[in-house]
């Protein structure tokens, strides 16, 4: 086969003729004997054919040599490729499907989620950062309704925008070439659409393919299935009949077309739904998309090599469930419904897990182990599913949460025995139990982003992925990741090139929170409701609440903190108070009488009470939330999990703050918060400067002793990291987060506007000035968007 290096946009492939390659191509054919196929062919004309003009039968081959190859074009692979390309590597991204996005694409239609867990746990402000957040925020801006086709197009746009990325769609890697036993030299793939073979060589590879095709072919050590308890000392070991692997899922969308639609099920559709699907009562008229996550199956099938069998079985389930909805007579108002879409490929959960230098396990998650080489974090529950899925008598999932997010070490994202191979997505080095949490899209994507910048360090220093750890480059990797907006718990960004570290900063005004004024609406106390607030190292202030009671009664209040500074799980109650209230509207002054030993978040809880309501406020602020008590996870010694009471927010437009007065006011929003190097609420602090609500134009000024040459400025805004921003199906109330500053100006020492932005909707604003500016001061003016939301800023950086 003739292979050509692809040095230009069009590859010229040398062709030889059909007859030169194959002889006459009519071997054994007697031209003197006419057949039905040839009787209309003039023999003279046949003899006059110029055989040198006939086509070549060999397929074209393209070769490419780059720095970094990412195999797998899911969200993890896309973000890894973009991250590496922006850092200067030449990248090839290989995807075996016609669209990008993997399980989040329009082919499968699973939402992108991670540590926020639909905002249903105690992981506050936990949405993942970096390139992933840029994409999710952009999707929200363009596509708040959650159309997965638009998400496909967004990923394609962002990849095509990077000149350092060569994208190969519809290209399946099927073999690798090695340098010795422990180094991948080349991956070889075939594109079914242009019948072209690609041979892509690189210094470093990232397998983000889901099933780990590169790692498998290269001989990378991997694990499959649930381990016994003694392997890792884990307790969450389910019975043998539960199954050893999570299954695949397929979904459908339905649509009301406004007139009756008949449905005749295909012969293969599953019959006797109520007899064969134990959870058939979970089937609803309006169920669609990944809300049907429990339409899952795998049983004892190989999750890779039997994947087509699994798909076929799931098609039977999907069409059978729709037949049950349409034709069983058990559902009302289904006459006008039709199937709009059905998965054509299954969404895969689990197959291979590859061994790194560290295998993350259950204890690391539950105990929230702090790794020195942390490069990512997770927060989804440890969430295991029965292997027989939809046919199982077990619940669709068995899951337990930790009290907060946990970190993932760098040593878990590269191969133990292949010296230049990284892993992203669900392939990282974890036990089966830990995989129940790390497998979700956003968590795996953080690992893939870390792999990309680790590859940059490897390339620059000519070292292996392991040597990044052994030779002390982990802190640089952490700083490089944080600079992209990638968040790592317990890590603060330090950048010696940042001119802000040499400047003096002044603020025109800073919030002292003494009141959230009532807006005339009331929250019935049907459940416990709390205010999550940041407190200084001092006595907890007094609070005044306005309540409305239908009778004389008592009302109880409690004050909680978390046993770990970085958590928001209220597991330490410091004070309980009870007060008598009168029938009608009255004020309650609450004095908890306790002091805090360090700056941290606390939860002021108003206990549920029938026939009592509490006043609400329209005002919303960065780093402050109202929370409502949800379910309780009971302590489980058998499986090794702790008791957790969940306090979770309501989604906007709900979730108003409680109206209250604070005496003395909270002063946790000033200059010190702006200089912590963390661009979200974390580690007990808001980490943001907040101006008073009355301040319509907030101003920050940076001074230097001598003029500085400035070429680049970065502003970090609040894009509500507590909002899950599911990429599809859910729908969201706004396309721009209410805390985001949309309009701002930057001025030099003369007052000249060197940059103005009118329509911002992103968290990280990196401003590359067209011409360098020499100035001894910079003024940043931030304009309020909403009269009920004050101006806020997480950080500013300046570079020359």
Catalogue all structural domains in the chain, each as residue range(s) with its CATH number: 17-56 (no CATH), 62-224+351-483 (3.50.50.60), 248-342 (no CATH), 499-509+670-799 (2.60.120.260), 513-665 (2.60.120)
Q: Once rounded to an integer, what is the mean pLDDT over residues 294-303?
A: 97
pLDDT band at residue 17 under the 50/70/90 scheme: very low
C-alpha 428/C-alpha 471 separation (Å) is: 22
CA 72 to chain centre: 16
DSSP state for residue 258 in the 8-state scheme: S
Whole-model pTM over 0.75: yes
- Tens of pLDDT, residue by residue over 695-704, are 999 999 999 9
Q: Once rounded to an integer, what is the mean pLDDT over residues 255-282?
A: 97
**pLDDT score recorded for residue 9:** 40
Q: Once rounded to an integer, what is the mean pLDDT over residues 566-579?
A: 98
C-alpha 228/C-alpha 238 separation (Å) is: 10
pLDDT band at residue 53 under the 50/70/90 scheme: low
Q: Are strands 697-716 and 504-507 parallel, antiparallel or unpaired?
A: antiparallel
**pLDDT score recorded for residue 35:** 42
- pLDDT at 688 > cutoff 90: yes
pLDDT band at residue 579 under the 50/70/90 scheme: very high
Residue 781, classed as helix, strand or coil, is strand
Pull the structure tokens for residue 34.
């006419």
Contact 750, 766 (CB under 8 A): no
Report the alpha-carbon angle 747-750-756, nearest 5: 20
- pLDDT at 31 > cutoff 80: no
pLDDT band at residue 676 under the 50/70/90 scheme: confident
Contact 401, 437 (CB under 8 A): no
C-alpha 662/C-alpha 545 separation (Å) is: 9
**pLDDT score recorded for residue 7:** 43
Q: Once rounded to an integer, what is the mean pLDDT over residues 568-581?
A: 98
Q: Once rounded to an integer, what is the mean pLDDT over residues 401-409?
A: 98
pLDDT band at residue 417 under the 50/70/90 scheme: very high
- pLDDT at 227 > cutoff 70: yes
pLDDT band at residue 675 under the 50/70/90 scheme: confident
Q: What are the phi and psi torsion angles at 290 (to 5°)?
A: -75, 0
Q: Once rounded to an integer, what is the mean pLDDT over residues 738-752?
A: 97
C-alpha 73/C-alpha 77 separation (Å) is: 5
Beta bridge partners of 204: 68
DSSP state for residue 423 in the 8-state scheme: E
**pLDDT score recorded for residue 45:** 52
- pLDDT at 475 > cutoff 60: yes
Q: What is the largest CA-CA distance in the chain?
A: 113
Q: Across all residues in the chain, what is the average pLDDT?
A: 94
Q: What percent of the chain has pLDDT over 70?
A: 93
pLDDT band at residue 57 under the 50/70/90 scheme: confident
Q: What percent of the chain has pLDDT over 90?
A: 92
Contact 796, 674 (CB under 8 A): yes
């Amino acid at each position: 086969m003739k292979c050509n290096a692809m040095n230009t946009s069009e590859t010229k492939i040398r062709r030889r003729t059909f007859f030169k390659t194959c002889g006459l191509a009519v071997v054994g054919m007697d031209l003197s004997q006419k057949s039905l196929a040839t009787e209309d062919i003039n023999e003279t004309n046949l003899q006059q054919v110029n055989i040198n003009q006939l086509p070549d039968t060999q397929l074209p081959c393209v070769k490419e040599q780059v720095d970094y190859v990412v195999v797998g074009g899911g969200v993890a692979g896309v973000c890894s490729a973009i991250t590496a390309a922006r850092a200067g590597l030449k990248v090839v991204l290989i995807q075996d499907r016609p669209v990008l996005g993997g399980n989040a694409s329009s082919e499968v239609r699973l939402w992108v989620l991670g540590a926020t867990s639909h905002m249903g746990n105690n992981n506050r402000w936990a949405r993942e950062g970096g390139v992933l957040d840029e994409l999710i925020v952009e999707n929200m801006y363009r596509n708040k309704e959650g159309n997965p086709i638009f998400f496909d197009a967004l990923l394609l746009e962002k990849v095509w925008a990077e000149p350092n990325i060569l994208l190969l769609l519809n290209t399946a890697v099927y073999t690798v070439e090695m340098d010795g036993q422990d180094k991948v030299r080349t991956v070889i793939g075939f594109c079914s659409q242009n019948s072209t073979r690609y041979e892509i060589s690189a210094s470093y590879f990232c397998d983000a393919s889901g099933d780990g095709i590169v790692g498998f072919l290269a001989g990378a050590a991997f694990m499959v299935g649930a381990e016994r308890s003694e392997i890792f000392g884990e307790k969450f070991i389910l019975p043998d009949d539960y199954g050893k692997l999570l299954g695949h899922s397929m979904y459908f969308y339905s649509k009301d077309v406004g007139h009756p639609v008949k449905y005749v099920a295909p012969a293969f559709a599953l019959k006797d739904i109520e007899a064969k699907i134990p959870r058939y009562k979970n089937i609803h008229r309006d169920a669609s998309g990944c809300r049907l996550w429990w339409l899952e199956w795998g049983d004892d099938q190989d999750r890779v090599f039997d994947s087509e069998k699994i798909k076929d079985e799931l098609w039977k389930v999907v069409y059978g469930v729709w037949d049950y909805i349409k034709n069983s007579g058990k559902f009302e108002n289904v006459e006008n419904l039709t199937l709009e879409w059905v998965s054509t490929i299954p969404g895969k959960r689990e197959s291979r897990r590859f061994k790194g230098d560290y295998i993350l396990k259950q204890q690391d998650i539950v105990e929230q182990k702090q790794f020195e080489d942390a490069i990512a974090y997770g927060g989804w529950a440890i969430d295991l599913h029965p292997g027989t899925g939809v046919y199982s008598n077990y619940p669709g999932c068995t899951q337990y949460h930790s009290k907060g997010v946990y970190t993932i070490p760098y040593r878990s994202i590269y191969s133990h025995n292949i010296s230049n191979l990284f892993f992203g997505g669900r392939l990282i080095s974890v036990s089966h139990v830990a995989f129940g949490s790390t497998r979700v899209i956003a968590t795996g994507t953080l690992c893939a982003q870390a792999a990309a910048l680790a590859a940059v360090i490897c390339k620059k220093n000519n070292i292996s992925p392991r040597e990044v750890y052994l030779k002390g480059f982990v802190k640089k990797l952490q700083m490089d990741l944080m600079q992209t907006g990638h968040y790592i718990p317990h890590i603060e960004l330090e950048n010696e090139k940042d001119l802000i570290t040499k400047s003096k900063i002044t603020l025109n005004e800073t919030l002292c929170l003494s009141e959230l004024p009532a807006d005339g609406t009331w929250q019935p106390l049907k459940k416990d409701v709390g205010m999550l607030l940041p407190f200084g190292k001092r006595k907890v202030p007094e609070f005044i609440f306005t309540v409305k009671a239908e009778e004389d009664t008592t009302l109880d209040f409690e004050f909680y903190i978390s046993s770990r500074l970085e958590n928001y799980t209220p597991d330490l109650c410091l004070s309980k108070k009870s007060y008598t209230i009168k029938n009608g509207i009255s004020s309650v002054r609450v004095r908890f009488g306790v002091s805090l030993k360090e700056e941290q978040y606390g939860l002021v809880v108003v206990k549920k009470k029938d026939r009592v309501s509490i006043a609400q406020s329209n005002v919303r602020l960065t780093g402050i939330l109202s929370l409502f008590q949800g379910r309780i996870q009971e302590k489980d010694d058998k499986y090794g999990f702790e008791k957790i009471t969940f306090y979770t927010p309501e989604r906007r437009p709900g979730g108003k703050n409680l109206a209250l007065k604070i005496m003395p006011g909270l002063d946790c929003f000033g200059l010190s918060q702006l200089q912590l190097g963390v661009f979200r609420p974390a580690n007990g602090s808001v980490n943001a400067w907040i101006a008073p609500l009355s301040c319509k134009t907030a101003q920050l000024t940076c001074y230097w002793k001598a003029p500085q040459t400035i070429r680049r400025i970065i502003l970090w805004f609040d894009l509500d990291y507590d909002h899950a921003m599911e990429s599809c199906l859910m729908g969201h109330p706004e396309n721009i987060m209410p805390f985001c500053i949309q309009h701002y100006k930057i001025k030099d020492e003369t007052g000249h506007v060197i940059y103005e932005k009118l329509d911002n909707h992103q968290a990280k604003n990196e401003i590359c000035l067209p011409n360098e500016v020499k100035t001894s001061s910079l003024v940043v003016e931030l304009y309020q968007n909403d009269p009920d939301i004050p101006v806020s800023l997480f950080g500013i950086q300046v570079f020359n």
